[in-house]
Chains A and B, each alone.
Chain A
Amino acid sequence: MTEAWPDPAAWLILLPLAWATLAFLAGPGRGGRLAIPALAAQCALALWLAVSLAESGARLHPVGGWGAPLGIDLLADGLSAVMLLLTQAVALALAVYAQAYFADAHHRHEATWFWPLTGFLIAAMNALFLSADLFNLYVTLELLGLAAVGLVAVGGGTAQIAAALRYLLVSLIASGAYLMGVALIYGTYGTAAIASLAPLIDPTPPLATWLAAGLMVVGLMAKTALFPFHFWLPPAHGGAPAPVSALLSALVVKASFYLVLRLALGPFAPLAEMAAWLAGGLGAAAILWGSWQALRTRHIKRLVAWSTVAQLGYLFLIFPLLAADGLAMQAGVMQAVAHGLAKAALFAAAGVLMRATGRDTLDGLAGVAGRVPLTLFAFGLAGVTIMGLPPSAGFLAKWLLIDAALASGQWGWVVVIIAGGLLAAGYIFRVLRRAFLVAPEDSRFHPVPRRLEWTAFALAVASVLLGLRGAELVALLG
């Protein structure tokens, strides 16, 4: 099927690559004015793609016109469309936020290569969501990993460089494991195209396939920061400038999760049953451990970062339930979208709170309720999604997940899901409670650009209201 000039899927990759390169050409600190209209256009493209998919089903784009297995195919289906929509929408909001964030005199020096790195980051994610070739996916993972490492270092502090290098090492080892798996797959089947592989892999494959699947999935889990591979995430996400933390926590970790889901539903479906329990178990451990750490930390952004560790756990709870019916997958995608919006809002709000108080600790928050009420409201609304209270998208995700667990008679997961919600309420209220304390005499507040507050608020509202329109999103998954 090659009718598509202009194909929105292809432009969703070319456009961010182009503006990222031009932003680099424009020089340090520049590119924001280019990025925002381009991201708005990307939002329109993603929407256009989603609408055309809903009408006519999945579309294939054979790059070079060769078609798999000789060439590389791009495949757009409902799952990729949802991830693309989430990515463009969150990235646009965060770009608006970032432009105001870096305009401030104290933060201008941090911006250096923020815009080109962000452009490459988004191009990498879009290419990943659209690729249907295991080796091409490796290239997109490399692109994504390097852009993310660069962004962690954007602030330039010593602690950040250390966090970036640790992240780089984890990312490289994980990519290496994935690549080794791809090499084994190619050696066994002679192709890396997912469509050609799917019919070739049966439930009793040779040892090389088991090894390949194991290496690839473990590598991707490390990139997703699933417990016990989460150790790199809190320093990397907690230390970066707020717009970077938001991009990384809301979007980047979802990309490798998406790929695990793709593999488990596609070529590795015959092998998935055994590993599914392990993935679910690790997810449950992540929920409990991440929430516990979020309840203990003294820093605002560390709290939000540990919350990411916990919320990522929910994504992996779906694997033991995938067999049941479509419910678990809907739950996973809904959780990815809900968490993406809410976590972007939380980090954006945390950035405002830190700038208003000039401090990064929870103790410094006393009195902010009267100074930046809109931001605190945004934090609370996003918190509603994280806790999973109705009518938010987070509620819908957890409700679907519980439904799927009950339908397949696996009661144990329900306990974990509910416990995770209670723990989340605990750490969200830690922030809210302190915000309403009376400010000490000597505390000073700094004015914050209104645009920072409004973007955080818009993201938070979207994460709640999406719960009301969840049916459309789920329908897209088919």
Chain B
Amino acid sequence: MNGLLRSAVVIVGLSLAAAMVIALLQLPSAAVHLPALVAENLAQSGVEHPVTAVLLNFRGWDTLLEVAVLLLALLTLLTLGGGKAPAPAAAVDPLLQGLARRMLPLIVLTAGYLLWAGAHRPGGAFQAGAVLAAGAVFLQLAGLLPAWTAPRRWLRLGLVLGFLVFLAVAAALLGQGALLRYPPALAGGLILLIEAGLTLSLGLILAGLFLFLTGRDA
């Protein structure tokens, strides 16, 4: 029975893959060409890089909900039992600690640069937040930062701050007639404000996905 099921799964999987390959080879040319539309409207978006313009302006609604998804992932992790065990410090390696101490300012600087660069070249809040989170993980591995237990008020505030700023901007702009409808003159500044908040909060959320769990097995 199990073998039969397994072969059935393999057959279904293979035929799906084959159908996908055939479908992709026969793909017609698309009727709608969005990159052209993006290029046309880039000047009104408040930023110069098309990816940032799509993420924060044209499809900012997706991004707002995606940030909620990340926050929710952390919340679900906490519900499933993350952050419950007391956190013993990791093994101490003086070499690693020295390296971590020297790297930390550079990591923060890199995150700040990525945040700023997002306006005109690849970069932005998600990348900057990921770098910050990597810094926190590094500190934990070096034994300089204990694993996190249940989040206290200040940590909770940090975790939600970026999302709250984003939400407040979205709500405030409803007065302009639509959610997230930036006035062209303010678009650049508002996007930077949102991205700055997100950098901090996404950094904490991504770090939390690691740091709330490490306390258990250490």
User: For A339, what are the chain B residues with a Cβ–Cβ distance below 8 Å?
Assistant: none
User: For B60, what are the chain A residues with a Cβ–Cβ distance below 8 Å?
Assistant: 63-64
Stretch at the interface among A115-123, A226-234, A362-370: A115-123
CB pair B26 A207 closer than 8 Å: yes
Q: Please, what's the 1-or-0 string for A14-25, where 1 marks a CB less than 8 Å from any CB in chain B?
A: 100110010011
Question: Does A378 make an interface contact (CB < 8 A)?
Answer: no
User: For B91, what are the chain A residues with a Cβ–Cβ distance below 8 Å?
Assistant: none
User: For A11, what are the chain B residues with a Cβ–Cβ distance below 8 Å?
Assistant: 174
Partner of B68, one of A66, A113, A120, A206: A120
CB pair A211 B178 closer than 8 Å: no
Q: With A5-B177, A136-B61, A187-B30 given, is the CB distance from A24 to B75 under 8 Å?
A: yes
Question: Does A191 make an interface contact (CB < 8 A)?
Answer: yes
Measured in the bound complex, the distance between the Cα atoms of B61 and A127 in whole Å is 10
A135-173 residues with Cβ-Cβ distance < 8 A to B are 135-136, 139-140, 142-143, 146-147, 149-151, 153-154, 156, 161, 164
A135 to chain B, nearest CB (A): 7
Q: Please, what's the 1-or-0 string for B105-120, where 1 marks a CB less than 8 Å from any CB in chain A?
A: 0000000000000000
CB pair B76 A153 closer than 8 Å: yes
With an 8 Å Cβ cutoff, the count of chain B residues facing the other chain is 55
User: For B72, what are the chain A residues with a Cβ–Cβ distance below 8 Å?
Assistant: 117, 120, 143, 146-147, 150
Q: With A24-B160, A112-B79, A206-B26 given, is the CB distance from A61 to B178 under 8 Å?
A: yes
Measured in the bound complex, the distance between the Cα atoms of B157 and A140 in whole Å is 24
Measured in the bound complex, the distance between the Cα atoms of B163 and A25 in whole Å is 12
B56 to chain A, nearest CB (A): 10
B202 to chain A, nearest CB (A): 15
Partner of A190, one of B26, B32, B159: B32
CB pair A211 B19 closer than 8 Å: yes
A57-79 residues with Cβ-Cβ distance < 8 A to B are 61-66, 69-72, 74
A148 to chain B, nearest CB (A): 9
Measured in the bound complex, the distance between the Cα atoms of B170 and A127 in whole Å is 14
CB pair A21 B79 closer than 8 Å: no
- Which residue of the partner chain A has the closest CB to B176? A65
Q: With A120-B68, A139-B62, A143-B65 given, is the CB distance from A188 to B181 under 8 Å?
A: no
A174 to chain B, nearest CB (A): 15
Measured in the bound complex, the distance between the Cα atoms of B20 and A407 in whole Å is 39
CB pair A64 B181 closer than 8 Å: yes
User: For A7, what are the chain B residues with a Cβ–Cβ distance below 8 Å?
Assistant: 174, 178
CB pair A25 B27 closer than 8 Å: no
Question: Does A411 make an interface contact (CB < 8 A)?
Answer: no
Q: With A21-B167, A190-B32 given, is the CB distance from A139 to B80 under 8 Å?
A: no
User: For B23, what are the chain A residues with a Cβ–Cβ distance below 8 Å?
Assistant: 184, 206-208, 211
CB pair B30 A21 closer than 8 Å: no
With an 8 Å Cβ cutoff, the count of chain A residues facing the other chain is 62
User: For A190, what are the chain B residues with a Cβ–Cβ distance below 8 Å?
Assistant: 30-34
Partner of B30, one of A64, A136, A189: A189
Measured in the bound complex, the distance between the Cα atoms of B69 and A147 in whole Å is 9
Question: Does A27 make an interface contact (CB < 8 A)?
Answer: yes
A389 to chain B, nearest CB (A): 39
Question: Does B179 make an interface contact (CB < 8 A)?
Answer: yes
User: For B157, what are the chain A residues with a Cβ–Cβ distance below 8 Å?
Assistant: 25
A232-260 residues with Cβ-Cβ distance < 8 A to B are none
Question: Does B4 make an interface contact (CB < 8 A)?
Answer: no
User: For B27, what are the chain A residues with a Cβ–Cβ distance below 8 Å?
Assistant: 187-188, 206, 208
- Which residue of the partner chain A has the closest CB to B159? A24
CB pair A25 B156 closer than 8 Å: yes
User: For A70, what are the chain B residues with a Cβ–Cβ distance below 8 Å?
Assistant: 34, 37-38, 41, 58
User: For A153, what are the chain B residues with a Cβ–Cβ distance below 8 Å?
Assistant: 76, 79-80
Q: Please, what's the 1-or-0 string for B164-196, where 1 marks a CB less than 8 Å from any CB in chain A?
A: 100100110011111111100000000000000
CB pair B79 A200 closer than 8 Å: no
CB pair B177 A65 closer than 8 Å: yes
Q: With A72-B61, A154-B79 given, is the CB distance from A14 to B171 under 8 Å?
A: yes
- Which residue of the partner chain B has the closest CB to A123? B68
User: For A117, what are the chain B residues with a Cβ–Cβ distance below 8 Å?
Assistant: 72, 75-76, 79
- Which residue of the partner chain B has the closest CB to A142? B69
- Known A-B contacts: A139-B65, A200-B31, A200-B32. Give 20 more (CB < 8 A): A5-B175, A7-B174, A10-B179, A18-B171, A24-B71, A27-B153, A69-B34, A70-B38, A74-B179, A116-B75, A117-B79, A123-B68, A136-B61, A136-B65, A139-B62, A146-B69, A149-B76, A191-B30, A206-B26, A208-B27
Listed by A's residue number, 12 A-B pairs whose Cβ atoms lie within 8 Å are A5-B177, A14-B171, A21-B167, A27-B153, A27-B156, A136-B59, A139-B66, A143-B72, A153-B79, A154-B79, A188-B28, A196-B32
Tell me the A residues contacting B by CB distance below 8 Å: 2-7, 10-11, 14, 17-18, 21, 24-25, 27-28, 61-66, 69-72, 74, 112-113, 116-117, 120, 123, 127, 135-136, 139-140, 142-143, 146-147, 149-151, 153-154, 156, 161, 164, 184, 187-191, 196, 200, 206-208, 211
